[in-house]
Homo-oligomer: A and B are copies of this chain.
């Protein structure tokens, strides 16, 4: 039996680097991985991109309407060999159903699934995929990073043209206009004016 892991961390905590390292480790031991990314994320142009400078193409993308278990089985068959591990980048963008399918890949098909993603959006609300992962994953592991103040960052504040904003759509991929800064709860509270 495999397990479903949710390795969560604030933005810019090194999740993509960690995913690429795991892929490297598996392959170095003669095992194979598949990397999948929800199609909603257009950052990196269907690659997993680490801020440290590494990148690697995903093996397949998944649309919100598709079945992850079916798609993974099709990919496995296309490679002609058993895949030893499924890695999910930006897993918060999976649907809740796709997380249940990931659980079935682990528990019924016996393939470990390592899902990397953030817990919450810029308003501290969970994404459908991350909520479901937090509910059912076998193991919840945190990738830590620091806030500008030195404490552990947990929340993902959004900036628009450099200014913190607290309204807008849940999903806004970072780019030229929109950026994110991961903050500790104290610093996040200070930005929204909650100090007492």
A residues with a Cβ closer than 8 A to B are 1, 12-14, 17-18, 20-22, 24-26, 28-31, 51-54, 84, 103-104, 107-108, 119-120, 124-126, 130-131, 134-136, 138, 140, 142, 145-148, 150-152, 154-155, 185-186, 189, 194-196
Query: How far, in angstroms, from A135 to B120 measured CA to CA in the complex?
Result: 6
Query: How far, in angstroms, from A25 to B51 measured CA to CA in the complex?
Result: 9
Q: Which residue of B lies closest to A124 (CB)?
A: B136
Query: How far, in angstroms, from A140 to B119 measured CA to CA in the complex?
Result: 12
Q: Which residue of B lies closest to A20 (CB)?
A: B52
Query: How far, in angstroms, from A80 to B164 measured CA to CA in the complex?
Result: 32
Q: Which residues of B contact A147 (CB under 8 A)?
A: 29
* Known contacts A17-B17, A185-B107; A146 and B194 CB within 8 A of each other: no
Q: Which residue of B lies closest to A140 (CB)?
A: B140
* B25 and A145 form a contact (CB under 8 A): yes
14 of the cross-chain contacts (CB-CB < 8 Å) are A17-B21, A18-B18, A21-B52, A29-B146, A29-B148, A107-B189, A120-B135, A120-B136, A125-B135, A130-B135, A136-B154, A138-B152, A140-B140, A140-B142
Q: Which residues of B contact A20 (CB under 8 A)?
A: 52
Q: Which of B84, B107, B135 is the one whose CB lies under 8 Å from A134?
A: B135
* Known contacts A104-B194, A194-B108; A51 and B24 CB within 8 A of each other: yes
* B13 and A25 form a contact (CB under 8 A): yes
Q: Which residues of B contact A29 (CB under 8 A)?
A: 146-148
Chain B CB count within 10 A is highest, among A21, A24, A28, for: A21
Q: Which residues of B contact A138 (CB under 8 A)?
A: 152, 154, 185
Query: How far, in angstroms, from A31 to B149 measured CA to CA in the complex?
Result: 9
Query: How far, in angstroms, from A132 to B75 measured CA to CA in the complex?
Result: 35
